[in-house]
Structure 1
């Protein structure tokens, strides 16, 4: 399948909570709203975003967080037993170059330039070299990464091989982990979902000094030939972005699918790991047991 240089989408993300008993107060933050950006080889145009919340919030406020993500905070201060949040957006994803064809310097030279503050983005890149709430660096990840990052190897070539190795060595298994599984546990199991694959690759890259960050978003799924698209069958997705030096900037890789990100990938938020880009999180007073259902529909236009 030929991947287009631009792709236009409508996205509908529905989250529904049903509580066993009444909730008196809830406070939540949403990170589901895309933002426009341009990078060396990719970009995204956000044409419009609409958010619908039921019951109607008592307090509603939007701000931009430290990483530039759009955040909608709201509070409902009336009794309710259900909560529904709908975020509808329309975006265009652009890709101006093929990552596979990019020439890049040896990976060690990029690490050295950041350390010596010679790279013009060194300060921002440096933030993504260290431990974060869900990722702890260590010799185990370094050893795994160095099987691909051999001395003098171009960064892009090594990064793509690491992406494919994680895909081949780890089993995609939705029953093996959950949202709270640690990166160390996922690495030990050699199994998990896109969140785990992304955390593992970030841990490997950071452990050898390469800045890497976590990207949350959506993935356009293509049905088998002759079969219709299933509305609501798409899901939230996660992949990684590694820093390739001031000439190339940030390059996105998808270890779950063993490929560089392309116009089938729709980035929404970025952070150091999943804890900083959770699509929806908050606290409730009351409610008891909770039943959660989520549906995402990514429709190409």
Structure 2
């Protein structure tokens, strides 16, 4: 599937900002069943410096420096990419065997997935998450079977409620409220998995949404999305830390929609939680008040014709 994604952010400041520094995570990844074909980042006013690179998780990022007075900031990212169907997640090894593999064992190599088993700024490891997750994680149950049931339970138990939470709402508060948006659902599911001793990543991105029958697709009417990536390696034998070689080890589940991510999903960035992958964040001097507008468009793109 060929998709075009436009993500535009506009800030209006009162009074004017004197200088600013921003960090943008707006370039989708070229990995995991998707390939970026073209990407542009437009910033108005033009920054004095725009330094692009990758963060520690392999996400594309841009550092923007604006050391001058401005009343408005507009950041527009446009990406053309190709996505493909993702392989279905096998049931996997028993979840407790995967948990044991993440634990420290003398003489055994460190696995990078272990980093996503620890607490993070928005997601602690906590007994309340264990209490909620325990019913899905009976001993001997394949990890992905348990993870899919956990996803379905969150989808059924939690009400999607806009404007009740914000980017800084802790995952434990979302668990208590049983309400929130996709970010909250993802944080709760990650908290449950990590508190059970497993590894899970926060994924930010986009989802292709279809307009109602007979209605036009509205430019800017979509939104960014968030879901969960679960580490479920193939364990071939006792003590085998390499697992299934080149077989996929991370599988994406979306508790907001109770489904696995497919070719209609676009992965923007991965991290421990939202704090690692905010699309645009920064530090400003001035601008005591601001008005924020965000518009996202995800639409099918016609493939280029060949002569």
Q: Residue 283 of structure 1 aligns with which residue? A: 283
- Say whether 1:190 aligns with 2:178: yes
Structure 1 stretches of at least 4 aligned residues deviating more than 6 Å after TM superposition:
none
Which position in structure 2 is the counterpart of 1:74? 64
Q: Tell me the equivalent position of 2:80.
A: 90
Aligned partner of 2:45 among 42, 52, 55: 55
Structure 1 portions without partners, runs of 5+: 1-6
Residue 17 (structure 1) aligned with residue 11 (structure 2): yes
Say if 1:117 and 1:123, in contact at 8 Å, map to a contact too: no
For the aligned residues, what is the CA RMSD? 1.6
| 1:292 lines up with 2:292 in the alignment | yes
Mapped pair 1:259 → 2:247 = no
Q: 1:3: which partner in 2?
A: none
Q: In structure 2, what is the Cα distance between the partners aligned to 1:125 and 1:139?
A: 22
Cα distance per residue 1:264-291 (max 9 Å; x no partner): 2110100000000000000111112100
Q: Distance in 2 between matches of 1:83 and 1:22?
A: 10
Task: Return the alpha-carbon distance in structure 2 between the equivalents of residues 140 and 56 of structure 1.
Answer: 47
Q: Is the 8 A contact 2:122 2:169 kept in 1?
A: no
What secondary structure, in the 3-state scheme, does the structure 2 residue paired with 1:291 have?
A: strand
What SS does structure 1 have at the residue aligned with 2:213?
coil
1:253 and 1:261 in contact (8 A); partners too: yes
Q: What residue number does 1:200 align with?
A: 188
Q: Deviations over 1:214-267 (max 9, x none)?
A: 000011111222322222111000001010014440000100111111112110
C-alpha contact (below 8 Å) 1:148/1:161 kept by paired residues: yes
Calculate the TM-score normalised by the size of structure 1. Answer: 0.92
Q: C-alpha deviations, 1:98-133, integer Å up to 9, x for none?
A: 23xx23121111111232669x99521110111111
For residues 1-40 of structure 1, the C-alpha deviation after alignment (integer angstroms, 9 at most, x for no partner) is xxxxxx21111110000011111101001001012114xx
Q: Is the 8 A contact 1:63 1:71 kept in 2?
A: yes
Counterpart-to-counterpart distance in 1, 2:109 and 2:207: 29
The corresponding residue for 2:138 is: 150
**Is residue 128 of structure 1 aligned with residue 116 of structure 2?**
yes
Matched residue pairs, number? Answer: 288
**Aligned mates of 2:290, 2:104 — CA distance in 1:** 51
- Contact 2:167-2:274 at 8 Å conserved across structures: no
Aligned in 2, Cα 1:289/1:116: closer, same or farther, shift over 3 Å?
A: closer
The answer as to 2:200 corresponding to 1:225 is: no
Separation (CA, whole Å) in 2 of partners of 1:121 and 1:73: 34
What are the superposed Cα offsets for residues 49-94 of structure 1, whole Å, 9 maximum, x if unpaired? 1011001101111121100011100111221100101101111122
SS in 2 for 1:49: strand
